[in-house]
Amino acid sequence: MHRTSSDRVAGDADARGADARMSKRAVSAVVRLVVPAGAAKPSPPVGPALGQHGVNIMSFCKDFNAKTSEHKAETPVPVVIEIYGDKTFDWTMKTPPTSYFVARAAGVKTCSQRPGHVTAGRINLKHAYEIAKVKATDGGLGNVSLMSLTKSVLGTARSMGVEVTDPRK
Write out pLDDT tens, residues 122-143: 999 999 999 999 999 987 777 8
In angstroms, the CA 98 to CA 78 distance is 11
Mean local confidence (pLDDT), 64-73: 92
pLDDT on residue 9: 38
Handedness of CA 10, 14, 17, 23 (dihedral sign): negative
Mean local confidence (pLDDT), 79-107: 94
Mean local confidence (pLDDT), 42-46: 91
Which tops the pLDDT comparison, 107 or 18? Answer: 107
- Mind listing the domains of the chain with CATH numbers? 5-93 (3.30.1550.10), 98-165 (1.10.10.250)
Mean local confidence (pLDDT), 82-92: 94
CB of 137 closer than 8 Å to CB of 97: no
Statement: residue 20 has pLDDT above 70: no
Would the pTM count as exceeding 0.85? no
When the pLDDT of each residue in the chain is averaged and rounded to a whole number, the result is 86
Percent with pLDDT over 90 in the chain:
70
Mean local confidence (pLDDT), 64-89: 93
Percent with pLDDT over 70 in the chain:
86
- Taking alpha carbons only, the member of 83, 80, 73, 74 closest to residue 94 is 80
Q: Which helix (H) or strand (E) holds 30?
A: strand 27-36
pLDDT on residue 22: 52
| Residue 159: how many other CB atoms lie within 10 Å | 14
